């Protein structure tokens, strides 16, 4: 993908602070960390979104995310880790090359997700949505 910023990082056309690399994936520091130490893992081959990405690549991305999460806990003493993966503009995705965010979390780090749970009108409404999903699975 010509204009993909993450492909450019893989091609070393633009710099990145790489923390892990193998034949399939590259992990590097996010330039705009939600919490300092925030890292990204991407496949070396361009895929996007998750629904168009082969299962073995998804597995590899998440196995690598686990390694990085472990390193964040060991290196920084992180108390927790958020693993996040956005797909599509509606989700907040900005870079359209599949990537997994690994964000170290600390007690009282001051970050709060704007996560406001809603309620269904009734169980029928939830069950109807569940039924539509089951038909696709």
Nearer to Zn ion, 46 or 60 (CB): 46
Phi, psi of 42 (to 5 degrees): -130, 155
Nearer to ligand 5GP, 30 or 61 (CB): 30
| Residues at the interface with ligand 5GP (CB under 6 A) | 5, 16, 28-32, 40, 86, 92-95
Q: Is 97 a catalytic residue?
A: no
Q: Which partner from the list Zn ion, ligand 5GP, none does 86 bind, CB cut-off 5 to 8 Å by kind?
A: ligand 5GP
CB of 46 to Zn ion, least distance (A): 4
Using the Cα atoms of residue 103, residue 105, residue 109 and residue 114 in order, give the sign of their dihedral.
positive
Catalytically annotated residue among 38, 97, 99, 101 = 99
DSSP string computed for 48-87: -SGGGS-HHHHHHHHHHHHHHHHHHHHHH--SEEEEE---
Question: Under DSSP, is residue 119 helix (H, G, I), strand (E, B) or coil?
Answer: coil
Would you count residue 4 as binding Zn ion (CB under 5 A)?
Answer: yes
* 57 contacts 9 by C-beta, under 8 angstroms: no
Just list the catalytic residues. Answer: 99
Q: Where do contacts with Zn ion occur on this chain (CB under 5 A)? A: 1, 4, 6-7, 46, 97
């Amino acid at each position: 993908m010509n204009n993909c910023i993450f492909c450019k990082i893989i091609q070393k056309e633009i710099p990145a602070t790489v923390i892990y690399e193998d034949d399939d994936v590259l992990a590097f520091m996010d330039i705009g960390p939600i919490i300092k130490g925030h890292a990204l893992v991407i496949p070396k081959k361009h895929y996007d979104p998750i629904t168009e990405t082969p299962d073995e690549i998804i597995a590899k991305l998440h196995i690598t995310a686990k390694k990085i999460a472990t390193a964040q806990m060991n290196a920084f003493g992180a108390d927790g880790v958020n693993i996040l993966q956005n797909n599509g503009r509606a989700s907040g995705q900005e870079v359209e090359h599949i990537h997994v965010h690994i964000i170290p979390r600390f007690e009282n780090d001051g970050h709060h997700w704007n996560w406001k749970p809603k309620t269904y009108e009734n169980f029928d409404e939830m069950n109807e949505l569940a039924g539509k999903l089951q038909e696709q699975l």
